[in-house]
Structure 1
Amino acid sequence: MSTFDTFISFRGEDTRNTFTGHLYKALVDFGISTFMDDKKLLIGDSLSEDLIGAIEKSGSFIVVLSENYASSKWCLRELVKIIGCMVEQKRRVLPVFYHVSPHDVRHQSGCFKKSFCEYEEILQELNDREGDKYTKEVQEWRSALTKVGELTGVVVTKDR
């Protein structure tokens, strides 16, 4: 049984006070139990037990992919968990491509490429010290973005 009908994954600095904030309000006003994390998450921390629980207890997911989504390790970690729920438990995922192209999400190009170039630079340093632990995580992020980029979703352009 789901605690939440819908879980919204988004990059706060991009859409919290605009698109995602309005989406959340509309869903709640319509009577849809919706989880939208509004806490400031610290870079480098693991996903909290509460956040993992909210993802696991959600019936469906809306992933708002925006220009800075991939610059957040938190967003990428959430996405890996969400895609896991989609694959393993057949939960629905609706991607919203907010001012980004599905192609760029799928192939980590455009604004997504910059984030992954930065991650790979950092990885080189970390792997020299700590092995391939972080390389595996970045590969999981790439795979999750590829999967969500292949889904049919809503494309919101800057002209709308």
Structure 2
Amino acid sequence: MEISFLADMPNESLKIAQWYFDEWAYTVPGVTVDMVHQKVLEKSKSRMEIPLILLVHEDKELAGVAELKLRENVNHPEYEHWIGGIYVSPSHRGKGYASSLISKAKSHASELGIKSLYLQCEDHNIDLYLKHDFKVLHNSEHNSVKTTIMVHGTNA
């Protein structure tokens, strides 16, 4: 397993866009794979400035991704730095890649001087983030989906 940045492998951007579309974006009226791809490409420009995407590869095959984002939920502009877009392909699930990506995202955020990292997730993912020392803040809604807002760091 190797973790790197999309900035080092921008050729992976279309695959990520397709994953994101198939998992989440297809529910948003009017959104296309190309639109998702453009948003992914915006996160391929840097290793040291947010937004950015982390990749995990197994034997040179893309296995999963995670993002560090800015103000992901428009209903909560007071929460600046977010982790999100955590996705592991079905053939690679159960190998600890999501946990590895979360750990790397947290440590990278810390290296960038970020003191609080927020996320939003559906109920079935709360336990995963609790294992990584995220704390539940409150419930919310994002794109008509009920979510739980969690935080790691100073505001936890």
Q: Which has the larger radius of gyration?
A: 1
More strand by share: 2
**TM-score normalized by structure 1?**
0.34
More helix by share: 1
More contact order relative to length (CA 8 Å, sep ≥ 6): 1
